[in-house]
Amino acid sequence: MGKVNAWSTYDAKELKKLNKLNKEYIDFLSECKTERECAKKTVELAKEKGYKSIEDVISEGKPLKAGDKIYGLYMNKAVALFHIGKEPLENGMNILGAHIDSPRLDVKQTPLYEDSEMAYLDTHYYGGIKKYQWVTIPLAIHGVVVTKDQKTIEINIGEKEEDPVFCVSDLLIHLAAEQMEKKAAKVVEGEKLDVVVGSMPLDSKEKDKVKLGVLKVLKDTYGMEEDDFISAELEVVPAGRARELGFDRSMILSYGQDDRVCAYTSLAAMLEAKTANRTSCCLLVDKEEIGSVGATGMQSRFFENMLAELINLNGDYSEILLKRCLKNSMMLSSDVNAGYDPLYSDAFSKQSSSFMGKGVVFNKFTGSRGKSGSNDANAEYLAKLRKIMDDNKVNFQLSELGKVDVGGGGTIAYIMALYGMNVIDCGVPVLSMHAPWEITSKADVYEAYKCYKAFLK
């Protein structure tokens, strides 16, 4: 039944590969903390491997041929890579999908205010978080400000050693008797997640001198005005690099491993892939944490539209070719899984849990309360995948997210299943999912990468 500890299967040569991949993964996590940063890095790495932008390929207008490498970047937040195979596109693709958005605090559109001579940024949290986890930790601000004349200012403050950081305060324990009686969901309320950003008054006759002082810094550093917050996307995220975890350095502690652990390993496998019979695709999307909505989420038609453009290059575009391509595709919809946590064993059924270090996880189904909302992968498809994993010596495990009726979760699998393709949830076990700092095992990161490579091949 699988569930071997992957560490016990490695020789020195494999350990070397494992460590190399994880080192690169740690850099990716440390540099890319927003969907925009992940998409940008993806394009950068793809270009190095000879990928051309879909816009350039369309304007060249030449028919596709095996070996062509194309990337499509959508609104700077979602990205798809295609590596054209030897067979026609209508035979379908092998798709690796993952999401690159992560839970965080988003700065609101009229955010800056002063109270009691302290300046704050008002936020609205994004995705499912335990709000009390986000107070009293160093935070960084990443994102973009777009001015009225369409100039994009990139913001990244709180990551360099010499940068300042930001923080959400919490009530001192001495005065918290009442707070400590509250339910965990209410201990820190959403509107209390405002980030303290300044306290030094500007020498001025106007009121709100501390706020003016912050605005002066923003003007001097970034050339931005207060009104520019209207057209900004600023994300408040935990500050600092991803780290190795444990005496034995076998794990990784980082922000945003949901779902950059699957995104990065999918991308790494994709970039190394040789031209296969079927077209390979790596699809990294936004907005999964809030229901895959919006133009850059999986529910959007952007991916289908890109594919239509590719089929159109061969001069014989028809809707039926597009539909056949999608129907005949196979996908690993990759997202993190709840790793079994012995400290919270009550939430898990040990028999159907995924364990740290025991390899990449397949979830035949997700959902909750009678599998509701699940994409239930076909047995025939699972049989095919089992064989691929065994033939390529990939350590894998089957699991369900938590005990029956304890909770549940969804991914992008059900959306891709709408096209009638074979798709299964797959990914990496994580401890403390959605916390500011999440834990993965380096062995599982490596096994996910091996799994994706084997799947594309």
Q: Which is nearer to Mn ion, 104 or 211 (CB)?
A: 104
Q: What is the number of other CB atoms lying within 10 angstroms of the CB of residue 348?
A: 22
CB of 289 to Mn ion, least distance (A): 5
Q: Which is nearer to Mn ion, 18 or 242 (CB)?
A: 242
Q: What is the number of other CB atoms lying within 10 angstroms of the CB of residue 222?
A: 15
Q: Which is nearer to Mn ion, 197 or 261 (CB)?
A: 261
Check if the beta carbon of residue 10 is closer than 8 Å to that of residue 446.
Answer: no
Positive or negative: CA dihedral 289, 294, 296, 298 = positive
Nearest to 28 by CA among 281, 241, 289, 333: 241
Q: Can you spell out the DSSP letters for 183-243?
A: -HHHHS-GGG-PEEEE-PPPS-SSS-HHHHHHHHHHHHHH---GGGGGGEEEEEEE-S--E
Determine the angle formed by the axes of helices 442-456 and 12-31, rounding to 10 degrees. 100
CB of 185 to Mn ion, least distance (A): 18
Residues forming contacts to Mn ion in the complex (CB under 5 A) are 258-259, 335
Q: What is the number of other CB atoms lying within 10 angstroms of the CB of residue 136?
A: 11
Q: Which is nearer to Mn ion, 96 or 218 (CB)?
A: 96
Q: Which is nearer to Mn ion, 228 or 335 (CB)?
A: 335
DSSP alpha helices (H): ranges in 140-183?
Answer: 177-180
Q: Which helix (H) or strand (E) holds 83?
A: strand 78-83
Q: Which is nearer to Mn ion, 80 or 412 (CB)?
A: 412
CB of 422 to Mn ion, least distance (A): 21
Exposed e or buried b for every residue in 266-304, given b needs 16+ CB within 10 A?
bbbbbbebeebebbbbbbbbbbbbeebebebbbebebbe
Q: Which is nearer to Mn ion, 335 or 341 (CB)?
A: 335
User: How far is the CA of 177 from the CAs of 156, 172, 433, in angstroms?
Assistant: 38, 10, 29
Residue 373 phi/psi, 5° resolution? 80, 10
Q: Tell me: cis bond preceding 259? Omega within 30 of 0 counts.
A: yes
CB of 229 to Mn ion, least distance (A): 27
Sheet strand arrangement including 93-99? 52-53, 69-74, 78-83, 279-285, 93-99, 330-334, 422-427, 360-363, 396-398
Q: Which is nearer to Mn ion, 279 or 440 (CB)?
A: 440
CB of 98 to Mn ion, least distance (A): 8
Task: Kindly report the length of the chain.
Answer: 457
Q: Which helix (H) or strand (E) holds 396?
A: strand 396-398
Q: Which is nearer to Mn ion, 335 or 425 (CB)?
A: 335
**Single-letter amino acid, residue 212:** L
Q: Which is nearer to Mn ion, 7 or 126 (CB)?
A: 126
